[in-house]
Amino acid sequence: MTVEELSIEDVVIDLNEVDFSDIEDKYRVDADSGIEEYVVVDGAPIAPESKVPMLKKVLTKLFTNVKARLTSGEDVDAFHMPIENGKTTGYMFVQFATEKDAELAIKSLNGKKLDAKHRLFLNKLSDVEKYGAEGAVNDEAPTPKVPEFKETDYLKSWLQDESVRDQFMINFGESLVVNWQKHKNIEPAMERLDFNTGFSTFSPKGSYMLTLHPQGIQSWGGSQFENIRKFYHPEVRLLDFSPDEKYMVSLSPEPIKLPPADHPARASFPFGPEDEGHKLIIWELSTGIPVRSFALPPNLEQNKKIEWPLIKWSHDGQYFARKGPDALAVYESSSMALLEKKLIKIEGLQEFEFAPAGVKLAANKKDEVSSVIAYWTPETSNQTARVTLMELPSKKILRTSNLFQVSDCRFHWQDEGKYLCVKVDRHTKSKKTIFSNLEFFNLEEKEIPVEKIELKEAVINFAWEPKTDRFVTISRLDQGPINLAIPKNIINFYAPETDNKKGKKNATSAINLKKYKNFKSIENKHSTNLNWSPKGRFLAAAAIASSNSKIEFFDMDYDGNTVLASDEKLKNENVKASLKQIGDADHFGLTNLEWDPSGRYLAAWSSSWRHKIENGFKIYDFAGHPLVVEGIDNFKQFAWRPRPATLLTGGDRKKVRKMLREYSAQFDEQDAMEASEATKELILNRRRLLEEWSNYRASVERKLQQLNIKIDVSEEVEDIIIEEIKEEIIEEKTEIIE
C-alpha cells in the first residue's frame, strides 16, 4: 500500500483509545474559581423571616466598619440566606466585591462576638469546599519531624580561662575578631576574616555572640565560636534581649512575607500566616524559634528614627511591655499573651521604664521583690503632668507625683532598683528656656517619699553610681543657641548628706529623707557623656563629637593621705565621698566608650559608622593610662563580652576582700613572671633578627666581591669650610659735629 492509496475512511479510530488528557488539561474549568469572593458566615442569630432586613442591616454595618466592601449594584443582594420554616438558619452566604474584601472580612471578623450568645464564624466558600468534603483533610496528624539534637560546646567556657581574662569583640572591614585581654596583652580567641556582618553583639550574660546578616541573625558560642542557630529575619537592623538572656527581640524594616502555600520553602519557614506583615519578632534564643511577632504600631511606621528598644523587659524577664497610643501593653513571657488579656489604658502615655532589679518595697515580706514600672503622662487641659509608679502584675499604683510646666521626663533607675530619679525638663512660662528638676523616689521606704532638687540649669546627662546612692550630672545653662566651641557644661557630683547630729534622731527621721548635696562642680567643660565603672567608684566623663574629644577619669573614694589642698574642703561637707580626678586622656575622633565587666579597663573607640577620622580603639586602665592603642581602617565596633552575675555570696566576697593582700601578691608574682618571659622572648627575637641581617649583609658583600664590583661607600670627603665675609654698605651719612 502506498501513501496515495491511504484515505481517511480506511482508518478506524477507537475513541476510547485516544489520549485526550493534554486537551482536557488545557481546557479544564477550575471548579474553585469564581467563588473566591463568597464567604460562609455561620453563627448568626436565627431570626424570623420578617427580621431578615434588620439582620442584613446589622451585618452590612459590621462589614463596612472593617472596610470590607460587599458586592453592590441594583437588584444584587450580597446576602444569600436560606430560610427554613419561616426562620433563618443561622448561616448564610455573603458575596463581597472582591476576593481581597472577603479576606479582609474573614481576618477581622472571624470569631467576632455579636452578643453573649452569638459568635460569628467566617470561612471562605472555597475553603469549605476544599476542606469540608469527606477525606479532604487527613484525620491523622503527621508527627512533626524533630531535628536531631546537636550538642554544642560549653557556652560558658570562656569563664574557665586559667588567667581569668576577659574577652572583647572587634568588628572592622570585613572581619570579626574576638580577643582575650589581659592588661596590655591581646591574644586572638577567634578570627573570621572575609566575614560580612553588620552590627554584632553579645547576649546580656555573654553566652552567645550574635551577628547580623542580610538574611537574618546567627548565634555563635562555645570555645571555638561555632554556629549555633540561625534566625531567619531578612534585612534585620536592630537587636535586643531579655535580661535573663532567654529571648531576643529583632526588628527589620522588611515585613515578614510568607512564601506561597505550595512553595517548598514553606515547610521550613519559621513563620505562620499570623506573622505576615510583622516587623518586630521575639525569638527564643536557645532554640531559634520565633515565639511572638508584632506589627509596628502605625504611629511608628512613619518615624525615620525608631526609639529602641521597642519592647522593655522586667528585671527577671517575666514580663515585657510595649507602649501604645494611650495604653501600655504588658505581656507575660511564659504565655507570650497580654497580662490578664487586657491593655492597661493610660491616657497620653509618654514613656515608661521597668526597674532594672527587683524592688524590695516596704510593704513586701522579707526577701520578696516586686517588678515596678514607672511612666509619665503629660499635661492636659484639666490635669497636671504626672509620674506614676505601678507594681506588676498587681497593677497597683504605688505612688504618683504631679509636675508642672513639663517639656520632657527621663527615668533614671539606680541599678539595684532602690531609687528612681526622674529628670524633669521644665520650661519657663515663656517656653523659651529649659531648666531641670530632679525628683527622687525612694522605693524601699514606706509610702515612697519623694525628694526634689530644683536647678537653674538644664541637666543633659545623669548617671547613678552603681550600687550606691551617689550620682553625677552634666548640666548647662540654657542660653539660646549652643556654640559648640565654648565649653559650657558643668559636671556636678552629688552624694547624700550624712547626718551630722549623731544620735539625735528627731521625729521626722522616721521618714528617712535623703538630702542630696552637690559637693563638687567642675565648670566650663565639653563633657557630654558619663560612664561609671560597672562596679562603681570610678567614673569616665567624656566629651564626644567635639573638636577636642577628651576622657577624664574620676575616683569617688580617693581616700588616703594625699588629699590635695583643694580637696581639703570636701572633707568637711558631710558627704561620704572624696573625689579626685585621677587621669585624663585626649582621644581624637572618639565616638564610643565601654567599661569592661570587671570595671578595671575602659575601651574607647572611633567607629567608621560615625565618621572616618582616626578609626580604631584604645583600652585605658581606670586611671586613664592607655594600655592598648590600635588604629584600624574601617573600624566599626567594639564590644566587651559580658559576664553573668557572680555566684559568690556576700560572705565569700568578704573573705576575698580580707585576703586581698595575699592574693594580689600572688598575682603580682605571676604578672612579673609573664612580663619577664615576654621581655626574654623579645630580646631573643631581636637577637635572631640582627643575626639574620648580618648574615644577609655578609652574603651580599661576598657576592659583590665575586662580581668584582667595588662599592666605595666609605670614601671620606674632607669637608672644606670656606667662609666668605661680605661687607655691604647700607648707608652713608655725613654729620657735621660742631
Partner 1 sequence: MRPILLKGHERSLTQVKFNKEGDLILSVGKDTVASIWYSFNGERLGTLKGHSGTIWTIDVSEDSKLAITGSADFSAKLWNVETGECLFTWSLETPVRRVEFNPYKDEILMAIDAVMGFNGRILVFKLNKDNLSEQSTEPILDIPTRKDFVKAMIVGYSYGGKYIVAGHQDGVISKYDAENGKFMASEKIHEKQITDIQFSEDRTYFITSSKDKTACLVDTDSFKVLKTYETDAPMNSATITPVKDFVVLGGGQEARDVTTTSAKQGKFEARFFHKVFQDEIGRVAGHFGPLNYVAMHPNGSGYASGGEDGFIRLHYFEKHYFDFKYDVELTANSSLA
List interacting residues with partner 1 (CB under 8 A).
547, 588-589, 613-614, 631, 683, 686-687, 689-691, 693-694, 696, 700, 703-704, 707, 709, 711, 713, 717, 719
Could you tell me the strand order of the sheet in which 419-427 lies? 406-413, 419-427, 434-442, 450-454
Question: CB of 619: closest distance to partner 1 in angstroms?
Answer: 17
As measured in angstroms, the least distance from the Cβ of 692 to partner 1 is 8
Whose Cβ is closer to partner 1: residue 54's or residue 689's?
Answer: 689
In the complex, the smallest distance separating the C-beta of residue 726 from partner 1, rounded to whole angstroms, is 12
Nearer to partner 1 by Cβ, of 511 and 613: the residue is 613
* Torsion over CA: 233, 239, 242, 243 (sign): positive
Decide: 605 and 634 in contact? Cβ < 8 Å.
no
Rounded (10°) angle between helices 650-658 and 660-706: 70
Task: Supply the minimum distance, in Å, between the C-beta of residue 25 and partner 1.
Answer: 59
Shortest Å, Cβ 673 to partner 1: 21
Residue type for position 46: I
Nearer to partner 1, 397 or 704 (CB): 704
CA distances to 5, 12, 71, 296, 453 from 8, in Å = 10, 9, 54, 72, 110
Shortest distance, position 421 Cβ to partner 1, whole Å: 38
Least separation in angstroms between CB 707 and partner 1: 7
In the bound complex, what is the minimum distance in angstroms from residue 721's beta carbon to partner 1? 8
**Nearby residues of 594 by Cβ (< 8 Å), 6 or more positions away:** 531, 602, 603, 604, 638, 639, 640
Residue 680 DSSP label: H
Shortest Cβ 613–partner 1 spacing (Å): 6
Q: Residue 638 is placed in which grid cell? A: 567594639
Q: Which lies closer to partner 1 via its Cβ, residue 362 or residue 698?
A: 698
What does the block give as the cell for 136?
479532604
The residue among 12 and 709 lying less far from partner 1, judged by its C-beta, is 709
Between 163 and 679, CB nearer to partner 1: 679
Cβ distance to partner 1 smaller for residue 344 or 544: 544
* Residue 143 vs 547, nearer CB to partner 1: 547
Phi, psi of 550, deg, nearest 5: -150, 145
Sign of CA dihedral 294, 295, 297, 300: positive
CB 530 within 8 A of CB 541: yes
The DSSP secondary structure of 414-453, one letter per residue, reads: -TTSSEEEEEEEEE-TTS--EEEEEEEEETTSTT--EEEE
- Calculate the alpha carbon distances from 462 to 407, 423, 437, 452, 725 in Å: 17, 8, 12, 15, 72
Cell of 467: 550600687
CB of 717 to partner 1, least distance (A): 5
600's grid cell? 578595671
Shortest Å distance, C-beta 684 to partner 1: 9
Q: How far is the CB of 690 from partner 1 (least distance, A)?
A: 6
Rounded CA separation 660/678 (Å): 26
CA distance 68 to 78: 12
d(CA 428, CA 441): 24
| Rounded least distance, CB 637 to partner 1, Å | 19
| CB nearer partner 1, residue 157 or residue 695 | 695
Q: How far is the CB of 347 from partner 1 (least distance, A)?
A: 50
710: left (phi over 0), alpha (psi -120 to 50) or beta: beta
- Contact between residue 60 and residue 70 where contact means Cβ atoms under 8 Å apart: yes
Beta bridge partners of 320: 313, 331
CB of 605 to partner 1, least distance (A): 15
CB nearer to partner 1: give 588 or 667.
Answer: 588
C-beta of 675 vs 683, nearer to partner 1? 683
Cis peptide before 356 (omega within 30 of 0): no
Cα distance between residue 261 and residue 130, in whole Å: 14
Q: Which is nearer to partner 1, 127 or 630 (CB)?
A: 630
CB of 65 or CB of 705, closer to partner 1: 705
Question: What residues are paired with 427 via a beta bridge?
Answer: 434
For the chain, what is the total number of helices (H) and then of strands (E)?
9, 43
Q: Please, which residue, 673 or 711, has the CB nearer to partner 1? A: 711
CA angle in degrees (0–180, nearest 5) for 563-569-572: 105
- Within 349-418, strands assigned E span 351-354, 371-377, 385-392, 396-403, 406-413
Q: Smaller CB distance to partner 1: residue 647 or 717?
A: 717
